[in-house]
């Protein structure tokens, strides 16, 4: 089957890698933002047959989301076989009503993807599995943990311990640790739903003096949780601290703040193009598509 890959401006590099692995035709897109903030999206070339649209929706989330929807809508004019690859899917944290009156925005976003013509969606390490239940079309979330673990297997670490910054991510830490035959643990984190303040209450950590730590998470936004975790671990007299994550949003100088907290290195995938994105996610995406 002939395949066309369309790269949104938020994911051009990753889209090209996907097209190369699939031996597919690659079409680039262009975004023009008017003075009033409106976005105009243009595709260069005509797609056909199976069409894969690749566009992450990291900040500016709304602009990148509109671009993804516009690209899918245009692709639908040429084919009904549209696969939307949204490596980082914004709004996945708004998957339920936490406080009275909150709108479940992910439910609305899910309707939009179906409305514009997506037949299937592929995401990488979606923040919430509950978010996927709002879709009425097939959605597949794939794990980047094996690729991240592969990177760390090449580092010379001292008796490393894998750490989840909270109990919500313990399965991810367990998977990461199992791949490298390491021990893992999870910190007890408390977040105030109204203020957003984070506090590490306690942990079952024992005998970590001098051991290198690998904090594993799905995403880093402002870095608050990571910084609190690092401060706690440093008080236990651990060795070097590394951070592994799939999506490095790193809002408001988060990378600088995390490094100042004592992190030796931040490793992320190219679902979001950053200096930290040294792990390629194109292989797992292509496997999911194929």
Tokens 């005998």 locate to: 207
Percent of residues in the chain assigned helix, strand, coil, to nearest 5: 30, 30, 40
CA atoms of 262 and 129, how far apart (whole Å): 32
Measure the CA dihedral 30/33/34/35, to 10°: -150
What does the block give as tokens for 46?
């005509």
Closest CA to 109 of 142, 125, 86: 86
Q: Which residues are catalytic?
A: 189
CA atoms of 90 and 16, how far apart (whole Å): 22
- β-partners of residue 120 are 83
What does the block give as tokens for 57?
């929706």
């Amino acid at each position: 089957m002939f395949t066309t890959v369309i790269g949104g401006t938020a994911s051009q590099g990753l889209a090209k890698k996907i097209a190369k692995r699939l031996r597919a035709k690659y079409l680039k897109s262009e975004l023009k933002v008017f003075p009033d903030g409106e976005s105009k999206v243009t595709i260069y070339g005509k797609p056909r047959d199976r069409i894969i649209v690749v566009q992450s929706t990291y900040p500016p989330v709304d602009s990148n989301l509109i671009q993804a929807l516009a690209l899918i809508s245009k692709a639908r004019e040429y084919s009904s076989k549209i696969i939307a690859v949204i490596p980082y899917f914004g709004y996945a944290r708004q998957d339920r009503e936490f406080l009275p009156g909150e709108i479940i925005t992910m439910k609305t976003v899910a309707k939009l993807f179906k409305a514009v013509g997506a037949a299937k969606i592929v995401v990488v390490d979606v923040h919430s599995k509950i978010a996927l239940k709002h879709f009425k079309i097939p959605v597949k979330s794939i794990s980047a943990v094996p690729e991240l673990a592969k990177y760390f297997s090449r580092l010379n670490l001292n008796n490393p311990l894998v750490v989840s910054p909270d109990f919500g991510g313990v399965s991810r830490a367990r998977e990461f640790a199992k791949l490298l035959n390491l021990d893992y643990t999870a910190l007890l984190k408390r977040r105030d739903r109204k203020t957003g303040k984070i506090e590490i209450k306690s942990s079952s950590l024992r005998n970590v003096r001098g051991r290198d730590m690998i904090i594993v998470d799905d995403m880093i936004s402002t870095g608050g949780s990571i910084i609190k975790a690092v401060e706690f671990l440093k008080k236990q007299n651990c060795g070097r601290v590394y951070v592994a994550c799939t999506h490095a949003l790193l809002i408001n100088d988060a990378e600088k703040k995390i490094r100042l907290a004592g992190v030796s290195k931040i490793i992320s995938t190219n679902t979001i193009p950053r200096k930290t994105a040294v792990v390629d996610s194109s292989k797992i995406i292509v496997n999911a598509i194929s």
